[in-house]
Amino acid sequence: MSDWGPVFVSMVLFILLTPGLLFQLPGRSRCVEFGNFQTSGAAILIHSLLYFAFICVFLLALKIKILNIIVTLMADWGPVVIAVVLFVLLSPGLLFQLPGRGRIVEFGSMHTSGVSILVHAILFFGLITIFLIAIGVHIYTG
């Protein structure tokens, strides 16, 4: 039986913590800016650290799962590591933005948009589902 808990938690956090959608920390002209659809390397770093902290709390400390199996005492770091890596790689504007402002794809633009966040969230969902459900990547520590 597959565990969809890490997929859904990772997906919701990806959307909520994408720099520029709800907030950007640090902002371009202030400490925190809200809904500016901009990003920067520093903002992606801070948001990635926040993402890592929240994903650890939800998946390791609270052990959120969506299945009916006995929870083992071992911590599974696989979903955490994969989710954080995908969060960084798929942050709109860092490596690429799909769709771009004037092109289909823009590279390193440090901008984002609502449509870009939606497309990147769909890519994130597809990739994390492949890694966690189809392949079943696990990294156990006791």
Q: Is the pLDDT of residue 71 over 50?
A: no
**Which residue in this structure is represented by tokens 């966690």?**
132
Among candidates 73, 77, 63, 85, which has minimal Cα distance to 14?
Answer: 85
Query: Burial, 91: exposed, middle or buried (Cβ in 10 Å; 0-12, 13-18, 19+)?
Result: buried
Cβ-contact 46, 26 below 8 angstroms:
yes
Please count the CA atoms within 13 angstroms of the CA of 139 that sit on its side-chain side. Answer: 10
Question: What is the value of pTM for the model shown?
Answer: 0.82
Q: Is the pLDDT of residue 70 over 50?
A: no
Convert the pLDDT of each residue in 109-140 to its tens digit. Answer: 999 999 999 999 999 999 999 998 888 877 77
